Chain A
Amino acid sequence: MIEFKNIAKSFGPKKVLDDVSFAVKRGEVFFIIGASGVGKSVLIKHLVGLLYPDGGEIWLDGQEISQLDEKGMYPVRKKCAMVFQHSTLFDSMTCAENVALPLRKHKGLKQHEALAEARRRLDIVTMGEFGDRYPSELGDGMRKRVAIARALTLDPEFVLFDEPTTSLDPISARRVDKLIRELSDKLGVTSIVVSHDLVSIFTIADRIVMLYKGCVRLLGTREDFKNANDEVVQQFIHGRAQGPMEP
């Protein structure tokens, strides 16, 4: 279980998160939604120590992790993988080498062992034949699948997806949605997904939290969001240009 308790974060004078609290249950597909710049990606980066909160606590399976140092975060990062918005594969490595890197660094496998395992992982996301290609030779959807393979290579219990369907064509986007749902249903992986993609949100989410002005605006199921009597929530989930949400 993951718990965010009263998280606050500012960048210079700009306060991005102000007292954000919610919990994510094991095995669920949990979406974090909200307008651009509201702090969704910032929030999930706190969970794996890529950012540190100015205030508040983060609990992962009963352990407070928000003050751990870089080395202390390694076990957390082994447990919680992250798929970045733009895939962020290393340009100088082939796809197989990209997927092998966490195996070598986290598990200490030798290069040839890690590469063999990486190719097996690439097969799972139907990218096995592209193991020797460089990321620059692949399309966005293919790179995203390699990034997912890299994230899953350590068999994490939690996976953080930062806008996984952004810049993908609709078919690739739905394939990614299906993959996220299957991770939860078949492997019991907990997925925390930052997204604006309304189709994804209302297709695969178990629960959703909406951030607005640095705080939690609404936390609930898909039905809760559809039936909410909150103009801000309704404007967002219907994608209306006019409404109470400030630009």
Chain B
Amino acid sequence: MTNPAHDSSTTPGLEGDFPERDEGFAARAGATALDFLRAGLELYSVFVRTLYYVFRGKREKGALVQQMYEMGNRSVFFVSITMGFIGMILVYQSGLQLRRVIPDFTMLGATYLELLVRDLGPSIASLILATRVGAGIAAEIGSMVVTEQVDALRMCAADPIDFLVAPRFLASLIMTLMLVVWASTVAFFAGAVTAHVFYDLSFRTFFSTQLLDAGDVITGLTKCVAYGAAIPIVSGYCGLSTFGGSEGVGWATTRAVVNSSLAIIILNFFISGAAFLIF
């Protein structure tokens, strides 16, 4: 059977040389743009409904504490180890570069602390959390979608956003802030030990706050809140939009990690830009 798109009789002349490719590209680009727009609107809807239920919803007894435990306590070891090693690597590499330019390490701790509070602490710790917490949220909610538990919730008059996303949102806001503060402290102390061992820098010199100001702290805390909100919203949306079986849950989990990480990077850009203008 002849496909009209490939039938030369329907595509006369030169204009018939690329019609399928042009039309296909345009259609694909349009479809992709529409998919992005639809996903953006749905993500926005999840965010707005989550905020509504955070303030107006009836929270399940113990749900918030349980989620805080799952996200916070169970992530402490992973985040601490990772941030500890990253702190050591950063200070070691910074020291190497510093030694080549000006062999004076007195400002190493102060510069590192400013960078850690303003950017590295919240961003790196949140990226680590996005892999663990984001994947967990998407996998759990996605499994509930494919096993019809989310439909069963709706049958019980329980909105899945209220029941599943809102407690995770609140827990993530609180625990991301606490974990970032803890992880940054670990990274700072690990850096101090590294500077002492490799560059013979005293702890007193390293523990300097002379470059740190209120703007750095406010910027860092703003990032904690923004990332803490973005991870459960993006991951919850990925989980709720799962389709298919176990393969769909796998895709949802992957999308949650990738999109949460992207959200953190993009938010970092805008918050850093705004902070630069304000402070």
Residues of chain A whose beta carbon lies under 8 Å from any beta carbon of chain B: 45, 48-50, 70, 74, 77-78, 81-82, 84-86, 88-91, 101-102, 105-106, 111, 150
Within B146-179, the residues touching A (CB, 8 Å) are 147-149, 151-159
Asked whether B100 is an interface residue with its Cβ less than 8 Å from the other chain, the reply is no
Which of B149, B152, B154 has the most chain A CB within a 10 Å cutoff?
Answer: B152
* CB of B61 within 8 Å of the partner chain: yes
Total interface residues in chain B, CB < 8 Å: 13
Set of chain B residues within 8 Å of A78, measured between Cβ atoms? 157
B176 to chain A, nearest CB (A): 22
Interchain CB contact (< 8 A) of B152 among A70, A88, A106:
A88
Contacts of A90 in B (CB 8 A): 149, 152-153
Contact B154 A50 (CB under 8 A): yes
User: 14 new A-B pairs (CB below 8 Å) besides A48-B155, A106-B157?
Assistant: A70-B154, A77-B155, A82-B152, A84-B152, A86-B147, A86-B148, A88-B147, A88-B149, A88-B151, A89-B149, A102-B157, A105-B157, A105-B158, A106-B156
> Which A residues are in CB contact (< 8 Å) with B151?
45, 50, 84, 88
| Interface residues in chain B, defined as those with a beta carbon under 8 Å from any beta carbon in chain A | 61, 147-149, 151-159
Q: Which residues from chain B contact A82 at a C-beta distance below 8 Å?
A: 152, 155
| In the bound complex, CA of A84 to CA of B151 (Å) | 9
- CB-CB under 8 A for A70 and B159, given A45-B151, A84-B148, A85-B148: yes
CA distance A81 to B156 in the complex (A): 9
The complex places the Cα of A74 from the Cα of B158 at a distance, in Å, of 10
CB A70 to nearest CB in B, in angstroms, measures: 7
Measured between beta carbons, the chain A residues less than 8 angstroms from B152 are 82, 84, 88-90
Min CB distance A71 to B, Å, is: 9
Task: Compute how far the CA of A77 lies from the CA of B153 in the bound complex, rounded to whole angstroms.
Answer: 11
Whether the pair A88, B159 counts as a contact (CB closer than 8 A) is: no
CA of A45 to CA of B155, assembled, Å = 10
Which B residues touch A50, using CB under 8 A?
151, 154-155
Whole-angstrom CA separation of A99 from B267 in the bound complex = 42
A85 (CB) vs chain B CBs: closest residue: B148
The smallest beta-carbon distance between A48 and chain B, in angstroms, is 6
By the criterion CB–CB under 8 Å, are A74 and B148 in contact? no
B149: chain A residues within 8 A (beta carbon) = 88-91
Is there contact, CB below 8 Å, between A111 and B61? yes
Chain A residues within 8 Å of B156, by CB: 101-102, 105-106, 150
Nearest CB in chain B: distance from A52 CB, A: 13
Shortest distance between the CB of B31 and any CB in chain A (Å): 12
Contact present for A81 and B155 (CB under 8 Å): yes
